[in-house]
Structure 1
């Protein structure tokens, strides 16, 4: 390749690279159909090229920010009253325009916890009737994906969806009934963020630095060393029990008898039992989205350490 062609190639490469780096990206929680919290300053954030100017227009407000050297930027919207009229948000960078549609302003709540909160509406008492009646476009649902957070499934952590019989099926039953009651009482848009994980312990929802700062909670972190050392043998033993169980299930099916329960997965093999793991995967990506409050439905998985739980819960909060 001639020197001239090499120079042209490198120039084109770096031009393409610069464009790619300057692309505006938004977290999954910021998107079309979202509900913004009323009567609070509302942050909109993302990344772009370093030193890039980002312009934002929404609901009569026009704001701007310059990304820092790492490309991060945040724009704060002034407090707004509740508004059920869908509006668009426009974002503009040096080489890109983004439009987010059907945005409402109202109350935003986070619902989190273990299986009590994860329990889907379609599994709940009265769920079938509630699903058929779930035509509430001013209630918006964000269902954080456990598969994306922990099982390396490709795709967004979640997306905002208007409440309908189709979108509410797998949403938290507790979260939905709370949203419905709130919507009927206040008469304004309601946004619900469901970030729950069955079988989870409170330390998995707590920032690691908070746990490390407390001598009473430090064991929640230190047990990871034991799990790491034991994991190869624990995995081997569990695989053996699983194969034995599969054989027993086949025999039970052939003999017309009740099949045995599936072996319990040991804690050492449960990524979501690791301290701060759910916080990193299913809470931190939502910060600093403005909310009114949070619902917490968890505790059973910590019952063996009930005395520690009071400190653990207040530390998490």
Structure 2
């Protein structure tokens, strides 16, 4: 431990230690969570007991928790009337930790008495502050109440949020320090088997949070795990550097001659903002602390930064793709910097005890570090993401940084936050049952059943469970500035096309909120071709999702494989995504899309189909358009005849006298051959609205 940090701790002790002969008394005031209800051997494993171990012999920690207690005086079981309340005052504490409110959220308390909550809480704070021992009072944002609670959708969800907001107001009004017990516990539902009470592991998190608040010890100066040599910061936008350090430390950030000094908050967090900078590098990057070791990087860059995510087709490695040897020999670019977040456990067998332990928010991903040379990091990096970054760099001529955290087999719901998933009954159902829920694709359910050996009582989450990959792979990145996102996923949601549409919109909106960029570009890959049910309808659904603002789509159906879900021509996919970004984000005057359905006219017994991006309409092999069908009002489709006139496609059938509907590329494994003058393939399409 650095000497200056030892001095800091010693200084903290002398501020609050009454005399050298006395111990610092800590009173833990609260409900069943403080008491340790449901925790085996709570006398040694409850959060106050664990806090005692962390603080050591200079402190005396006492547990004054009472199960079911409310803050409200008019609640069903007010803490004010319990012996524990009087005992906590007689204890003559030097520090008081109050964690109350969870039992106030019930409809038997909150609707009638919510307007009394702030006054009651302020009065309790005053009672403790006015004790002869004059304690320092901390209050806590409540630990989570999860969606599986039987009253969650009956008002508890809204009541809980209302109470949390009022607690923040109370902390400011009373000028007391607020300890956020909601985070990170909200990302660990496995620690709450009854959706309300934490296990011993949950109590450990609470104890650590309270320990940090009392001592100011947050482990010294730290940066996020994805910071490092050869990293890239986003150009032409303010550069935000964030991290943690010990409370009341001062941190000085120095990048490319620009400096920013900030004071660390009482909860150990800090954030420094540097002005927008032009592309360039390498630059030295230093983060200096008064109280712990400094952090220095000799080479970082400023350029364009993107996030690549999704499932296995995005995760597919450079060394697995077609022409891998040529790519690794001739297409290396020293101005492309890649960073992988890879799973520590993902396989098709029963997870071992050690592997199950890795299935949590903190431990699931391993971080590769940044690389711009031919090495294991690059060879095992996403082929699509590398092709994308390479083609961007070639056009923009600035450093390109790209982080990939794609996970094979992952469904969309695993990438969406709990905050968002808790808003609809449908997604709450998915949160509460991820085993054989009919809303979840059967392959994902079978994989979880296999990995968990049919054991529904395991105190663990599966990587495919809703919110898991958001918690472990997206939330840690949200303070980093990305220019945009590229996404290749859908295979694990193809059984429920309509549901995927809702989840996809939810995901994009959710990420834009968390990244604080409401117009964050989001460019995705339309699924390829394979003989699996629903893939034609799914591709058409993805086309319709282009209605979402600031999105773009790369078609891949022309390079699919009849039986292999992992077509190997990833360079083509990455290049097509790059065209989308260059045109839509960087305003380059280039073709970026194949023909997209615009509108259909009915001309007697024929349909006249008009396209966006349809200039130079033709077929790739010069033959008639393939995999195209029409139907009348009955929606019974038959094979259609076709004729291309300029940029318009004419379709008809002798068997359909009053055609109304057309669909193209709807076979799951399609041989559709329609392209435009830039040889970009047409998307699967139909003009059926329902």
After superposition, the Cα gap between the structure-2 partners of 1:209 and 1:270, relative to the gap in structure 1 and judged at 3 Å, is closer
2:374 equivalent to 1:165: yes
* Residue of structure 2 equivalent to 1:94: 290
Residues 120 and 225 of structure 1: is their aligned pair in 2 closer, same or farther, counting only changes over 3 Å?
closer
Counterpart mapping for 1:108-257 below 5 A: 108-147=305-344, 152=358, 157-166=366-375, 167-224=377-434, 234=449, 238=453
1:59 is matched with 256
Shift of 1:133: 2.9
Residue 8 of structure 2 is matched in structure 1 by: none
The number of residues matched between the two structures is 275
Deviates more, 1:179-188 or 1:280-289: 280-289
Shift of 1:22: 5.5
Equivalent-residue separation in structure 2 for 1:141 and 1:201 (angstroms): 24
CA distance in 2, matches of 1:134, 1:72: 41
Separation in 1, partners of 2:430, 2:495? 13
Which residue of 459, 475, 493 maps to 1:302?
Answer: 493
Is 2:218 the partner of 1:28? no
Larger radius of gyration: 2
CA contact (8 A) 1:134 1:163 kept: no
**Gaps spanning 5+ residues in structure 1: where?**
12-16, 240-268
Is 1:282 aligned with 2:473?
Answer: yes
| In structure 2, C-alpha distance between the alignment counterparts of 1:48 and 1:148, rounded to whole Å | 30
Alignment partner of 2:482 out of 285, 288, 291? 291
Q: Check the 8 A contact 2:233/2:301 in 1, yes or no.
A: yes
Q: CA deviation at 1:160?
A: 3.4
**Cα-to-partner distance string for 1:64-109 (whole Å, 9 max, x where unaligned):** 11111110111112111111x2111111111322112210000001
CA, structure 1 residues 66+157, in 2 after alignment: closer, same or farther (shift >3 Å)? farther
> Once superposed, what is the RMSD of the aligned Cα atoms?
3.2
CA–CA separation in structure 2 for the residues paired with 1:55 and 1:105: 19
1:192-223 Cα distance to aligned partner (Å, 9 max, x none) = 10010010000000001101112332222122
Tell me which protein shows more helix as a share of its residues: 1
Q: Residues 258-308 of structure 1: CA distance to partner in whole angstroms, max 9, x if unpaired?
A: xxxxxxxxxxx9811111000111111111110110001001100111111
Q: Does 1:42 align with 2:239?
A: yes
Larger RCO (CA within 8 A; separation ≥ 6): 1
Alpha carbons 2:364, 2:472 under 8 Å: kept? no
Distance 1:142 1:133, change over 3 A: same
Distance 1:308-1:21 versus aligned 2 partners, 3 A rule: closer
Distance 1:237 1:91, change over 3 A: closer
Change (3 A) 1:155 1:273: closer
The whole-number CA distance in structure 1 between the counterparts of 2:371 and 2:405 is 17
Instruction: State the alpha-carbon separation in 1 of the partners of residues 345 and 451 from structure 2.
Output: 26
- 2:208 match: none
State TM-score, norm by structure 2: 0.37
CA gap 1:273/1:94 in 2 versus in 1, 3 angstroms: same
Separation of aligned partners in 1, 2:492 and 2:472 = 19
TM-score calculated relative to the size of structure 1: 0.77
Three-state SS of the structure 2 residue aligned to 1:272 is coil
Task: For 2:299 and 2:415, locate their aligned partners in 1 and report how far apart those are by CA, in whole Å.
Answer: 31
Shift, 1:135, TM fit: 3.7
Inter-CA distance 209–61: structure 2 relative to 1 (3 Å threshold): same
Contact 1:22 1:50 in 2 (8 A): no
- Conserved in 2, the CA contact under 8 Å of 1:216 and 1:308? no
2:483 maps to 1:273: no
User: By how many angstroms is 1:312 displaced?
Assistant: 0.5
C-alpha distance in structure 2 between counterparts of 1:307 and 1:99, whole Å:
49
Q: Distance in 2 between matches of 1:91 and 1:311?
A: 42
Indicate the residue corresponding to 1:247 in structure 2.
none
The match for 1:244 is none
